Amino acid sequence: MLARPAIDHTPPAPRQAAHELAGLQPTAAQPPAPQPAAPEPAAPIHPGWLRVTHWLNALAVVIMVMSGWRIYNASPLFGFTFPNGITLGGWLGGALLWHFAGMWLLFANGLLYLALNTATGRLWRKFLPVGPRGVARDLASALHGKLSHADPRRYNQVQRLAYLFVMADIAVLILSGLVLWKSVQFDLLRELMGGYEAARRVHFLAMALLVAFVAVHLAMVALVPRSLIAMIRGK
């Protein structure tokens, strides 16, 4: 007969038994590792109020320029007239109505634009400082194709000068327009401009400079298309 194997009745060592029991006990649940905080969304390049006032200003300028050309055609200052196809109003009376509507929109929206730019400090941050040396430097860089557009939040000095100029030009347009609209009531303003006929020429020149600004502005947008996207979406 086969002999039975001997059974070892010796108890395990205390340290070995403790390790074996620890291996059988369930471990406590570990708290989940903290997740990294999600990055905050970047601030928009152009705030909402700026985009709204920009497009309202653009609408007002288009209305005033096209209706103004129709008004000009009724009594030309120079030896040319504008094609009727690019004018607004159909006739002198209709053009005047459109012109006054555009004027009030430009006046009210322009005041709001200027007030918000001033109240938020954007006017000083975006458009100042500006000086002859900086303008000459940035203009030379632009003409040689070396002007950087990497940061759309920062205006170069040529842009700053252009935007400050167009603000002043629109102010001249409104003041000279008041003389043409209410010449008797604004007699002091009329005299400061050299009379009614001189105010007509000032108004026409300010309009021509505004149209030139818009043409250059659109050309720059064509060269840097993301500037248009930023003015629509804000980023």
Asked if residue 1 has pLDDT above 50, the reply is no
Residue 117: inside a domain:
yes
Whether 28 shows a pLDDT value over 60: the answer reads no
Of all residues in the chain, what percent carry a pLDDT higher than 90?
66
**Tokens of residue 148, six digits:** 């950087």
**Coil, strand, or helix at residue 230?**
helix
Rounded to an integer, the average pLDDT of 43-70 is 94
Let me know if residue 20 belongs to a domain.
Answer: no
Whether 41 has a pLDDT exceeding 70, the answer reads: no
Share of the chain above pLDDT 70, in %: 82
Structural domain that includes position 135: 48-233
Cα separation, 195 vs 199, in Å, equals: 6
Mean pLDDT of 39-51: 78
Residue 119 lies in a domain: yes
Residues 6+ apart with CB under 8 A from 211: 65
For residue range 185-216, what is the model confidence (pLDDT) as tens digits? 999 999 999 999 999 999 999 999 999 999 99
Per-residue pLDDT tens digits for 59-111: 999 999 999 999 999 999 999 999 999 999 999 999 999 999 999 999 999 99
Type of residue numbered 12? P
Q: The domain spanning residue 72 has which CATH number?
A: 1.20.950.20
* pTM listed for this prediction: 0.78
Q: What is the mean pLDDT of residues 43-57?
A: 91
Query: Other C-beta atoms within 10 Å of 208: how many?
Result: 12
Look at residue 26 and tell me if it is in a domain. Answer: no
Position 109 scores a pLDDT of 95
Which residue type is seen at 188? L
Q: Identify the DSSP state of 128.
A: -
Domain count, the chain: 1
Summarize pLDDT for 118-150 with one digit per residue, the tens.
999 999 999 999 999 999 998 898 887 777 777
* Per-residue confidence (pLDDT) for residue 2, from 0 to 100: 47
Q: Residue 29 domain-assigned?
A: no
Task: Flag whether 82 is in a domain.
Answer: yes
Contact 198, 228 (CB under 8 A): no
Q: Per the domain annotation, does 4 fall within a domain?
A: no
Question: Is 95 inside any structural domain?
Answer: yes
